[in-house]
Structure 1
Amino acid sequence: MKENREKIKAFLARVVGDYDLQDNEDIFGLGFVNSMFAMQLVLFVEQEFKISIENEDLEIDNFNTVNALVNLVERKTAVLTSN
């Protein structure tokens, strides 16, 4: 969903600044994210998209790129709407 992608990119812009972050670039690998921001990122995703991030969701592969974050949000919201 384009709106989800835009919200995620806007949030990440706080740490990447003027860097032109591509949707498939690893924000951890690029050095933009430290452990404190990783916690803020999880909290942002939960609050912004009204989803609950469970322990099994806390894998780097769910948070390391814009695409991964969008996929996580869409998976979690699909579960909510199907219940």
Structure 2
Amino acid sequence: MSEYLEEVHEFVAQHAGGQRFAEDEDMFAAGRINSLFAVQLVMWVERTYGIAVQGDDLDIANFRTVADVARFVETRLGTDAAVAS
């Protein structure tokens, strides 16, 4: 899948007591992370990948699963790269 998947897995596991989620597991529904983590996750994505997460980006669909986060990063970096060139 995404080249960012493992990095997202590692970050999430650090904040979930070392437990890894399945790529498509809803991290919030599982009850092992909370809304504060959602803020930390968004900030980590911004800091790690240089992405400004704004407005419509803050849709839970972009951050619900590890795969969703990796796909969001991949999409945004692809879009940003296309705009920059």
Superposed pair shares fold, TM > 0.5: yes
Give the corresponding residue for 1:12. Answer: 12
- Distance in 2 (CA, whole Å) between partners of 1:64 and 1:33 is 11
Structure 2 gaps of 5+ residues are: none
Alignment of 1:1-83 (within 5 A): 1-2=2-3, 4-83=4-83
Runs of 4+ in 1 over 6 A off after TM superposition: none
TM-score, length basis structure 2:
0.88
Q: Name the % identity.
A: 33
Q: Secondary structure at the match of 1:70?
A: helix
Structure 1: gaps of 5 or more residues:
none
